[in-house]
Chains A and B, each alone.
Chain A
């Protein structure tokens, strides 16, 4: 897997498009996509929004994330970092933060490349960018 993280509105999707040569229709949006689409998607953006949605549907996001890692191991996952703040007063918000953190740790663990984006600037925080990793997502599409 590949993972792109960072705060909201930092330019994560743009970096993903550039690094992995993604077309707009390669990217599904976690805020609106179906769960089934995730298992074959080249790239899922707003994964933190997907976590909120499936949590609201009483699906365990940690279990879902583990399944996603085994069924779609070449996916590019884009998600916000959401944990850097005061512990929320609302219990559901606390649960959301906890489950997002744990799911993110699982994706990072299963990723050979993790990029963090801040102000449009990327830093590779796990693995390294090489041609194979960059193009493997596209190759998958060619094969299917």
Chain B
């Protein structure tokens, strides 16, 4: 089962995503994709760690190359967040690339390993602002990745101020 969770920033996506594996008995893996650059990233990481503590997650930090992760079969995986992974793959080495195919291949790899795969992504295309070309490219690439993820997901949930709204499949909890 694969569930994609989208929504704006600070819309309660993580809190909701972390509730889903509560019902699973197998090993719970949290794939953290945020690079700990700067105070705010560090604060966000601390806040998320606090939120996850006591929920039995094992954290794997993987900023790029999710297709290389090896994990035990039948674990449940929560990957957070696609927005960071996409930015890391696109911008890390100076040149801007399109990582869509690489990321989708990586997700399919995780989907094969996991009994449950939950991916948190980000809705970046709805603020009506035109950005410079690098950022516009990022918005379009993340949009394309989100569309492809939604197509292979069983459930697609949008969080609105903490309320899960099913766009595809069903709300799990």
B10–A98 CB distance below 8 A:
yes
Chain A residues whose CB sits within 8 angstroms of the CB of B138 once the complex forms: 86
B9–A105 CB distance below 8 A:
no
**B24 at interface, CB cutoff 8 A:** no
A85–B124 CB distance below 8 A:
yes
Closest to A94 in B: B40
Q: Which among B15, B124, B125, B126 is the interface contact of A7 at CB below 8 angstroms?
A: B126
A109–B162 CB distance below 8 A:
yes
Interface size class of B (residues with CB under 8 A): 20 to 34
Q: Which residues of B in the span 125-165 have a Cβ within 8 Å of any Cβ on A?
A: 125-127, 129, 131, 135, 138-139, 160-163, 165
Chain A residues whose CB sits within 8 angstroms of the CB of B129 once the complex forms: 85-86
B139–A86 CB distance below 8 A:
yes
A83–B11 CB distance below 8 A:
yes
Please give the distance in Å from A89's CB to the nearest CB on chain B: 10
Q: Which residues of A in the span 27-85 have a Cβ within 8 Å of any Cβ on B?
A: 81-85
Count residues of chain A with CB under 8 A from any CB of chain B: 26
Question: Considering residues A86, A97, A123, A126, which has the most beta carbons from chain B within 10 angstroms of its beta carbon?
Answer: A86
Q: Which residues of A in the span 93-144 have a Cβ within 8 Å of any Cβ on B?
A: 94, 97-98, 100-102, 104-105, 107-109, 114, 116, 123, 125-126
Q: Which among B15, B124, B139, B160 is the interface contact of A81 at CB below 8 angstroms?
A: B160
Closest to B128 in A: A85
* Cα of A34 to Cα of B160 in the assembled complex, Å: 27
B8–A82 CB distance below 8 A:
yes
B161–A84 CB distance below 8 A:
no
**B18 at interface, CB cutoff 8 A:** no
**B21 at interface, CB cutoff 8 A:** no
A86–B160 CB distance below 8 A:
no
Whether A3 touches B9, Cβ cut-off 8 Å, given contacts A84-B124, A84-B126, A85-B126, is no
B-side binding surface: helix, strand, loop or mixed? loop
Chain A residues whose CB sits within 8 angstroms of the CB of B135 once the complex forms: 86
A101–B160 CB distance below 8 A:
no
Q: Which among A7, A85, A97, A114 is the interface contact of B161 at CB below 8 angstroms?
A: A114
Please give the distance in Å from A128's CB to the nearest CB on chain B: 13
Please give the distance in Å from B160's CB to the nearest CB on chain A: 6
* Cα of A126 to Cα of B127 in the assembled complex, Å: 24
The 23 sampled A-B contact pairs (Cβ below 8 Å) are A5-B161, A81-B8, A82-B8, A83-B7, A83-B10, A84-B9, A84-B123, A84-B124, A84-B126, A85-B8, A85-B9, A85-B126, A85-B127, A86-B135, A86-B138, A98-B10, A101-B9, A101-B12, A104-B11, A104-B162, A105-B11, A108-B163, A125-B163
Q: Which 9 A-B pairs have the closest CB atoms?
A: A101-B10, A83-B8, A85-B127, A84-B126, A104-B161, A84-B8, A105-B162, A108-B161, A83-B9
B binding-site residues for A, Cβ under 8 Å: 7-12, 15, 40, 123-127, 129, 131, 135, 138-139, 160-163, 165
